[in-house]
Chain A
Amino acid sequence: QSALTQPASVSGSPGQSITISCTGTSSDVGGYNYVSWYQQHPGKAPKLMIYDVNKRPSGVSNRFSGSKSGNTASLTISGLQAEDEADYYCCSYAVSSPHVVFGGGTKLTVL
């Protein structure tokens, strides 16, 4: 069982917006602004999409945005495109061991 809880799957149609949640505790997501999100296409390595809750690395589309409320972080993808279909993982610093925790991953399907 992963330390952070994500929905197993979400789906949306092209052009729509979707949000993926990542729920932890006050000892990880809720206590620190060190939440990151990764996109992983089948057979590929994860790619950093969001860090520090809501910052985008250079080169990442502004259709991707992050936020946090209490112990739940969220990744929102607006203007869904077919290429967004992938698995998405959240990650957070945690005060307790092992100090780095991942979510179980969410499969995004673009209908």
Chain B
Amino acid sequence: QLQLQESGPGLVKPSETLSLTCTVSGGSISSSSYYWGWIRQPPGKGLEWIGSIYYTGSTYYNPSLKSRVTISVDTSKNQFSLKLSSVTAADTAVYYCARVSLTAIGTNWFDPWGQGTLVTVSS
């Protein structure tokens, strides 16, 4: 069955760049039917979509984060990655990767999700 696993540093200094990778197993990231996305959840708060990518490299981002976000894909490794620049304490959150179902007009649902990784922004 399809599984996703996030990896990356759990502590990032303010103003630096947060970098995470999601490894997909049990299926191909090159599936023509899905995008792959990042969602985050600050401690004790709700969910926020960050952005999504297709295996061809086509991306779309949450406008509130777009200036700081880069999502990329490596089909040879069945992985996709997130970079978030100029981080502040407000970027402290659990970061999840997920498979994204898209319709002709936009995002539909997220399934499955990775287990999540807590990234703390602190000096």
Contact = CB atoms under 8 A, between A and B. Distances in A.
Nearest to B1: A59
A93 B47 CA distance: 14
B108 A102 contact: no
Contact count band on B:
20 to 34
Given A36-B110, A46-B96, A52-B108, A97 B46 contact: no
B2 to A, nearest CB: 12
A2 B62 CA distance: 14
B58 interface: no
Contact of A100 (B49, B111, B112, B113): B49
Contact of A93 (B60, B64, B108, B114): B108
B64 A45 contact: no
Interface residues of A, number: 24
B113 A89 contact: no
12 contacts: A34-B106, A34-B108, A48-B112, A51-B111, A52-B109, A89-B47, A91-B109, A93-B103, A97-B63, A102-B46, A102-B49, A105-B47
Interface of A: 2, 32, 34, 36, 38, 44-48, 51-52, 57, 89, 91, 93, 97-100, 102-105
Interface of B: 46-49, 60, 62-64, 96, 101, 103, 105-116
